[in-house]
Amino acid sequence: MTASAGVSCNKFLAKIASDMNKPDGLTVITPEQALPFIRSLPIRKFYGVGRVTEQRMLAIGIKTGADLLRYQRQELVDRFGKSGNFFYDVVRGNDNRPVCSRQGRKSIGSEVTLKEDVANKEHMLAILTRIATQVAGTLAKKDLSTGTLILKIRYSDFVTVTRSRTLPTMFTNDRDMMAVIPGLLASTEAGVKKVRLLGITATNLRKRRHTPRQLKLPFSDHLQATLHHV
């Protein structure tokens, strides 16, 4: 296994440093090196500068960090919207974004490649029910619910399609899922075309809301009766 790493005084520089000595190297940019490094950096290497933004910057003479440094904050905001604030700060070595060591899981899914292509919709729904049970079980283990379901289908000709549904209430079990999946399946060509793969993915995940239990306080029988009649 190989990995590259970057170390610096902020997230922006560490990210750029990690891309410098791939596939298996370590790059360190010290605080003293930061500003000279940024000034010499080609604008295409800046985080957040894609092809379109790069062309817009080149059109106004911004080729390196040194060129970007000449622009005032409002000028950059006028030309690049909210990203202008980011460009103004990072070219001066300022990036206060926190480093998140872990991110919550974005999706949970399962899919099955069939031994033989299937044309019968009832058979497909039976398979999807088993998949929904598996996905719901994983959600339960992780104490999650889902607001969006994605149905994935691959036809016998290897064309893959997806259908999704988002509801205002969160899904918590396979029964809720299977109230939605048949409609998604009906919106595809499954049945008209044979299917070789079926899958369900749950996205828009949230921690489940537990119903609070009412506390039972050790009142005396006399006090209980008094409260009952208040």
pLDDT at residue number 219: 45
pLDDT at residue number 108: 92
**% helix, strand, coil for the chain, step of 5:** 40, 25, 35
- Of the two residues 223 and 168, the one the predictor is more confident about is 168
| H or E stretch covering 6 | strand 5-7
Task: Please determine, for residue 17, whether its predicted confidence score (pLDDT) is greater than 90.
Answer: no
107-207: which CATH architecture?
2-Layer Sandwich (3.30)
pLDDT confidence bin for 74, thresholds 50/70/90 = very high
All structural domains of the chain with their residue ranges? 5-90, 107-207
Do 200 and 135 contact (CB within 8 A), yes or no?
A: yes
Q: Which of 146, 152, 49 is nearest to 91 (CA)?
A: 49
Burial of residue 124 (CB within 10 Å: 0-12, 13-18, 19+) is buried
- The correct CATH number of 5-90 out of 3.20.80.10, 1.10.150.20, 1.20.1250.20, 1.10.3720.10 is 1.10.150.20
